[in-house]
A and B are shown apart, each in its own frame.
Chain A
């Protein structure tokens, strides 16, 4: 005989599950998360799903407006630019550079920032302040300006932009992680955990990180939105990605001269940039609100 469940099963929600449930009730954040995932998929799969090659030219179809326009052509859904290249394909591939590389830059920053921040957090005295203040001088300069300075040294180019952005984002990250770890270390449960015989590694991996990783994700989203804007801005200023590359900022700069003749070539990459930053910020804001609500519990 099948056992039936007389009493409803009581589920023990882990902190992560509670986090997700609160996050789900924030609708704008969930929309942001969908958009964010769509961009991430696009960044990974763009060369496979784009209808045309990035630099494939259609000499018979120059400056065709988007397909919903009466002059449009359904072969080129978002129109073509002055060299007859399909705008849709170029924008899809642009996600790989602008969005994908930003994620890579933010992830690298997170890894380095968490490692250095952790060492700064658990060490004391002069070593702690050395690690903590290692890159402090860069805090006084806005991240975009700093990235420009670093590019002036390294020379323009997409990869140099990524390094510049990582260096510009790091100090803030190290500070935040260190502060998180120092606050957690002073809590009672860490003392109790030490008395249980936990080693330093146990304290970090079982005691501290399970309680701060949400905060790290929030800092990551903030770093990511800065990285997207910086990569696009540097591309636009011709310091980052160079024109044949389909980075959104570079596309904007390349087509700026066509703004009256073919506004779709400038407007669409701008809209995409806006959406990318918006989705990242919505997700980050949602996460922050959940954290704040949890602190109030």
Chain B
């Protein structure tokens, strides 16, 4: 059986301006490969600047890689920097959910836009779908008439989740999405995520600094250092016996 998401030899580098005419290549991700099964969670940890967020952006389609492939369900969705722009099966939740929501649109309008751009559903079906999705993340149907400024931080995270889920994705990328929440709201959100995973078989890619959270919800763990995978395995195994020096350092602090 082939995995749901397969990332193969993904590399990315940025051009930096070293001086007036010369450019310096700075490689952020080198040869990243991993697999993710349906209904599993993969956590990516690493020091600041190790390329975690860049990887999240590449997976969600907000950036393109220089080389390497991403397969979803056996179909290639990114091949050497060419992205299948129609693919909405990998959705991302941003670190700052308030900044990722358009302040000028109501939640309902925003979700409706998502559906309009990607599906051919008619008006009633869309309304129904929005209602179901909002209920799924624990919001009321009335919330669709609200503007983002009217929500609290935890609710905004739910709105962001609703936006990700409304297109029935297979993978959700959480880029530090839980870090800015206070502990009780974070626990609520984590429970919500786990519940959704059990119900619908979603897969998560979790990018975080929070090690106890990683241990709690992830099945696999990738440790990045300077854009390279230094350790990759089942979460428990890595936590029991961290092999590389970076992992040991991360666990100790």
Contact = CB atoms under 8 A, between A and B. Distances in A.
B102 A12 contact: no
A197 B115 CA distance: 9
A195 B100 CA distance: 11
A38 B150 CA distance: 36
Contacts of B86: 197
Interface stretch (A46-54, A70-78, A205-213): A205-213
Given A15-B104, A202-B113, A206-B105, A197 B118 contact: yes
Contact of A211 (B85, B92, B104, B117): B104
A12 B113 contact: no
Contact of B147 (A14, A187, A188, A193): A14
Interface string B106-132: 100000011001100000000000000
A100 to B, nearest CB: 32
In this complex, the member of A191, A192, A193, A194 whose beta carbon has the largest number of chain B beta carbons within 10 angstroms is A192
Given A12-B146, A193-B102, A188 B96 contact: yes
Contacts of B94: 188, 191-192
B145 interface: yes
Contacts of B136: none
Contact of A196 (B146, B150, B163): B163
A199 B106 CA distance: 19
B88 interface: yes
B61 interface: yes
B99 interface: yes
B101 A192 contact: yes
A198 interface: yes
Contacts of A15: 103-104, 147
A188 B103 contact: no
In this complex, the member of A13, A196, A202, A207 whose beta carbon has the largest number of chain B beta carbons within 10 angstroms is A196
B214 interface: no
Given A12-B150, A207-B102, A191 B62 contact: yes
Given A12-B146, A15-B147, A188-B96, A198 B117 contact: yes
B60 interface: yes
Contacts of A199: 117
Contacts of A197: 85-86, 88, 114, 117-118
A60 B62 CA distance: 80
Given A194-B62, A195-B60, A211 B88 contact: no
A187 B99 contact: yes
A197 B114 CA distance: 7
B158 interface: no
A20 interface: no
A189 interface: yes
B165 to A, nearest CB: 13
B52 interface: no
B149 interface: yes
B91 interface: yes
Given A14-B106, A191-B62, 11 more contacts: A187-B99, A188-B96, A189-B101, A192-B92, A195-B92, A197-B85, A198-B117, A202-B117, A206-B113, A207-B102, A210-B105
Interface of A: 12-15, 187-189, 191-199, 202, 206-207, 210-211, 297
The 3 closest A-B pairs by CB, nearest first: A210-B104, A197-B117, A188-B99
29 contacts: A12-B106, A12-B150, A14-B106, A15-B103, A15-B147, A187-B99, A188-B94, A188-B96, A188-B99, A189-B100, A189-B103, A191-B62, A192-B92, A192-B163, A195-B60, A195-B61, A195-B92, A196-B88, A196-B113, A196-B114, A197-B88, A197-B114, A197-B117, A197-B118, A198-B117, A202-B113, A206-B105, A207-B102, A297-B149
